């Protein structure tokens, strides 16, 4: 059986890269897709246009921006074969489609399904009308504890599934594909046979889920991991350094990455040769190779390669008015439908101290950003005043100090 991949001219902003060249869990999308299809016994062929596909045998046709799991493709093909018809892959709307940000994908959406650029062509038929095969992707979900004044009247749930498809048409889809891949690993573990789970519990000498997750880590060669660091359900590359008291949970850490002490990396992907300073971390974020971060915590964001995030900078992922995050695509504002989504910085971007990005913001490649001059203390006048800042009297002069010690900077 052949799988035809139809090329696309789309490039993912701000990187300017073809979707197939974008990184998901530190591998190129095109490589992951080819591995999945070959594992299912398919021969992969690339074509410039779907109209050029002439094949009387059964085959599938898909767009070059498509990312999916093996489980999704297998279920789609199995169900299509039973129908003995030409079909289109569709997903039932719900948590999965919401959190994979279908609003930013070039997909067809109706009340009962979301249709993707993935099609099955039955033997002997090439141009028949295609029947939608609607797949229910939801398997498990995790409640994210959050007060009602933040989340609204409904519980905030994160889907955990190994059956999903995403068209990477936007940086937000690329971010979602990375996070969904991490959660797919958790889903596969939760679906494991009882004997396998029992064996893991015996190895952990506990039925506690966190101790069991500790048993499924994959650690590369020549790593320097402090004995007080704790790693759960994660993949660690070669030559990785992890400092004292650090926690790595449900994450992928690329070769040559180094973290300081008390670093927290949760549900995130770090590329090769990243550097995370002590006391810093990332939550549900994707850091491309050679990212350097001194930021306390990067939330639900995507950082291109060779970036620098300074101490005191921030990438906000929540609007104070409680509305869903808005992003831009091809010059059009799009409501993502999600309450939590950070920002995206391009390759080679430096964020100076006190640089704050609003949710959904995109920074083009190569920019180096610092606040306005009046917000940075670079000069103190002879009389003790500081441009752009107010001074207030101290409560009491420190002992043994002159009058100049009686003022302090007003940060309000």
Question: Would you call the peptide bond into 335 cis, given omega within 30 degrees of 0 as the criterion?
Answer: no
Q: What SS3 state is found at 404?
A: helix
- In whole angstroms, give the CA distance from residue 291 to residue 309: 8
Residue 400: per-residue pLDDT: 55
User: What confidence category does residue 126 fall into, taking pLDDT thresholds of 50, 70 and 90?
Assistant: low
Average pLDDT of the residues in 9-17: 96
Tens-digit pLDDT profile for residues 349-358: 999 999 999 9
Tens-digit pLDDT profile for residues 276-312: 999 999 999 999 999 999 999 999 999 999 999 999 9
pLDDT for residue 177 is more than 70? yes
Residue 378: per-residue pLDDT: 79
pLDDT for residue 133 is more than 60? yes
Residue 411: per-residue pLDDT: 37
Q: Where are the domains of the chain?
A: 2-184, 217-369, 382-410
Beta strand 59-63 with 114-121 is antiparallel
pLDDT for residue 150 is more than 90? no
User: What confidence category does residue 401 fall into, taking pLDDT thresholds of 50, 70 and 90?
Assistant: low
pLDDT for residue 377 is more than 90? no
Q: Write the DSSP symbol of residue 185.
A: H
Q: Are 237 and 254 a contacting pair, CB within 8 Å?
A: yes
Average pLDDT of the residues in 356-368: 96
Domain at 217-369: CATH architecture: 3 Solenoid (2.160)
User: What confidence category does residue 230 fall into, taking pLDDT thresholds of 50, 70 and 90?
Assistant: very high
Helix axes 29-39, 70-83, angle to 10 degrees: 50
What class, spelled out in words, does domain 2-184 have in CATH? Answer: alpha beta
User: Residue holding tokens 């991991």?
Assistant: 225
- In whole angstroms, give the CA distance from residue 61 to residue 6: 7
Tens-digit pLDDT profile for residues 50-76: 988 989 999 999 999 999 999 999 999
Average pLDDT of the residues in 401-411: 43
Residue 408: per-residue pLDDT: 39
């Amino acid at each position: 059986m052949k799988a035809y991949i139809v090329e696309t001219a789309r490039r993912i902003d701000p990187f300017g890269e073809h979707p197939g060249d974008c990184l998901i869990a530190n591998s190129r999308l095109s490589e992951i897709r080819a591995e999945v299809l070959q594992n299912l016994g398919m021969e992969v062929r690339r074509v410039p246009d779907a109209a050029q596909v002439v094949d009387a045998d059964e085959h599938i046709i898909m767009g070059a921006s498509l990312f999916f799991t093996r489980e999704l493709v297998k279920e789609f093909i199995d169900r299509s074969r039973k129908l003995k018809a030409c079909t289109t892959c569709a997903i039932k709307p719900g948590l999965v489609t919401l959190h994979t940000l279908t609003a930013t994908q070039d997909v067809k959406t109706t009340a009962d399904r979301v249709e993707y650029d993935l099609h099955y062509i039955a033997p002997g038929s090439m141009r028949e009308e295609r029947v939608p095969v609607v797949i229910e992707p939801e398997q498990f979900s995790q409640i994210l504890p959050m007060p009602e004044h933040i989340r609204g009247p409904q519980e905030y749930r994160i889907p955990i599934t190994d059956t999903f498809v995403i068209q990477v048409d936007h940086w937000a889809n690329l971010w979602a594909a990375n996070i969904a891949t991490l959660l797919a690993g958790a889903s596969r573990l939760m679906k494991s046979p009882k004997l396998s789970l029992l064996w893991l519990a015996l190895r952990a000498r506990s039925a506690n889920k966190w101790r069991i997750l500790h048993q499924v880590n994959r650690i590369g060669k020549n790593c320097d991991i402090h004995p007080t660091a704790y790693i759960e359900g994660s993949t660690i590359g070669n030559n990785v350094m992890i400092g004292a008291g650090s926690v790595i949970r449900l994450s992928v850490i690329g070769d040559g990455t180094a973290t300081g002490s008390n670093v927290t990396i949760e549900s995130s992907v770090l590329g090769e040769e990243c550097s995370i300073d002590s006391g810093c971390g990332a939550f549900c974020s994707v850091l491309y190779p050679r990212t350097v971060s001194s930021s306390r915590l990067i939330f639900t964001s995507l950082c291109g390669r060779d970036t620098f995030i300074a101490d005191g900078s921030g990438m906000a992922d929540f609007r104070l008015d409680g509305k869903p995050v808005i992003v831009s695509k091809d010059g059009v504002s799009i409501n993502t439908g999600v309450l939590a989504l950070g920002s995206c910085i391009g390759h080679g971007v430096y964020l100076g101290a006190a640089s704050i990005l609003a949710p959904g913001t995109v920074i083009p490649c190569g920019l180096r950003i610092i606040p306005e001059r009046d917000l940075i203390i670079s000069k103190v006048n002879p009389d003790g005043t500081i441009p752009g800042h107010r001074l207030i009297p101290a409560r009491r002069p420190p002992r043994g100090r002159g009058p100049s010690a009686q003022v302090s900077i007003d940060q309000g």
